[in-house]
Amino acid sequence: MFQIYNTLTGKRENFKSIKPHKVGMYVCGPTVYDYGHVGHARTYLTFDLINRFLNFLGYKVNYIQNITDVGHLVGDAETGTDKIKKKAQETGESIGDIVRHYTEAHLEDLKSLNILEPSNLPKASEHIKDIVTFVEDLISKGFAYVTEEGNVYFSVNKKPDYGKLSHRELAEILTGTRVEPEKDKRLPADFALWKAAPSGATAFAREPGATEVNSERSGEYVWDSPWGKGFPGWHIECSVMSQKYLGDTFDIHGSAVEHVFPHHENEIAQSEAKTGAPLANYWVHSGMLTLNGRKMSKSLGNTIRVPDALKDYSANEIRLSFYQTPYRQPFDYTRESMTQGVALRSKLFNSYMSAKEEGNDERFTEIISALSDDLDTHRALDLWSEQANSLSREQFERLFSVFGLKFVSIEENLQAKKLSDERDEARSKKDFLTSDNRRNEIQQLGYEVVDTDTSSQYIPR
């Protein structure tokens, strides 16, 4: 039985999907105003593993990951500039170009790490009509209010269980919330569902639901609404898109642990206020990533982008390094922690190259049981490494698929194969200069070269 830790209940629970053999999973996607870094990659690698493991267990996963292209303000607070608009102002590029460029970069990051593409990646800006309808419903049900300024806020004290995901009492949140400059909020903890366009902004009329925005002309992402021109808050987009693609209640909602509060807390409040049903049955959060013990963030200037990490380590090595630490624990990105993945990749791939046709089912089941234990990847990888000689090629291949590892033998890589043939010949003639040159070229094509007295092995990286 697959057990997974649920942030909402604070317990490890048996996983049971709403529909047999099907899982609906929503993971908060990127705000596309800048490149992602390996900290973001860790979150997507966690949910890729969950996706792959559920596939292994026989589930068909409908995996929705949103693209935030509007409404995410600088500092995650209720004030400040939209992150994407700020980037457009800094670079002089249009909002449309910024959004397209960083969405592509995100998809490229996923692909380069061998992350399975989600079933759908809906964009917030393409769901404005749905957002407006959702917000109108919350107003009519008494959970939200419109202010003279044209903002719409969610009234947290109308939802007595507000705080249940982050395990805080509403009273504590109300007294602990920093007083923000908005004068039109009833309570500081109320959060924006819809923000009025900044006064003086040359907001141009847009039909709700329009997909193309003339950002070249206006520099704004602004839509008409019953409350005047404006744009949606960040939290509401996830409530709207998860309901649209997965229904009122779905199986798994996940993201990084820093989104538990306020983002996910607000999503629950909005969605459950509207539908009266639980938003998701399992709330799953991946731990943070640090770099040499320090938080990785753009403001600290210590971020490592995925393409840069891939210059030092292969996608297989990054995956194995990250998965050495169970997903809920913090992962420290250091030379040592990453080198562990390199060594493990070498060992596993080497064992696979000499694996037999017959494998030990009990050993294989032990590895799967470790994964069923709230995805204890650390233990699963330890067992795999220890028992590598007892597993068949087929069992290896099933594990490659669960862990998202890609094994391309030198025989399958025609260019590398040709070089290795030339190298064998050079070695037989004791032409060591040519042999060394070929070795370097083979390494550059992504192979580890291991020589013995009699032969050479080329292990994919």
Shortest gap between Cβ of 8 and Zn ion (angstroms)?
Answer: 15
Residue type, 4: I
Nearer to Zn ion, 28 or 284 (CB): 28
Work out the burial of residue 326: count CB atoms within 10 Å of its CB; fewer than 13 is exposed, 13-18 middle, 19 or more buried: buried
Nearer to Zn ion, 88 or 280 (CB): 280
Shortest gap between Cβ of 93 and Zn ion (angstroms)?
Answer: 26
Residue with the two structure tokens 């907001």: 203
Of 152, 158, 157, residue with least CA distance to 139: 152
Nearer to Zn ion, 28 or 61 (CB): 28
Nearer to Zn ion, 194 or 349 (CB): 194
Binding positions for Zn ion, rule: CB under 5 A: 28, 238
Q: How many CB atoms lie within 10 A of CB 31?
A: 24
Nearer to Zn ion, 48 or 265 (CB): 265
Shortest gap between Cβ of 264 and Zn ion (angstroms)?
Answer: 7
**Cα 346-350-356 angle, rounded to 5 deg:** 150
Nearer to Zn ion, 28 or 246 (CB): 28
Shortest gap between Cβ of 169 and Zn ion (angstroms)?
Answer: 23
Report how far apart, in Å, the C-alpha atoms of 351 and of each of 96, 346, 389, 404 are: 49, 9, 7, 17
Nearer to Zn ion, 66 or 321 (CB): 66
Shortest gap between Cβ of 201 and Zn ion (angstroms)?
Answer: 26
Nearer to Zn ion, 28 or 279 (CB): 28
Tokens for 66?
Answer: 């949103």
Shortest gap between Cβ of 92 and Zn ion (angstroms)?
Answer: 30
Shortest gap between Cβ of 234 and Zn ion (angstroms)?
Answer: 8
Shortest gap between Cβ of 5 and Zn ion (angstroms)?
Answer: 19
Query: 191, 153 in Cβ contact below 8 A?
Result: yes
Handedness of CA 321, 325, 326, 327 (dihedral sign): negative
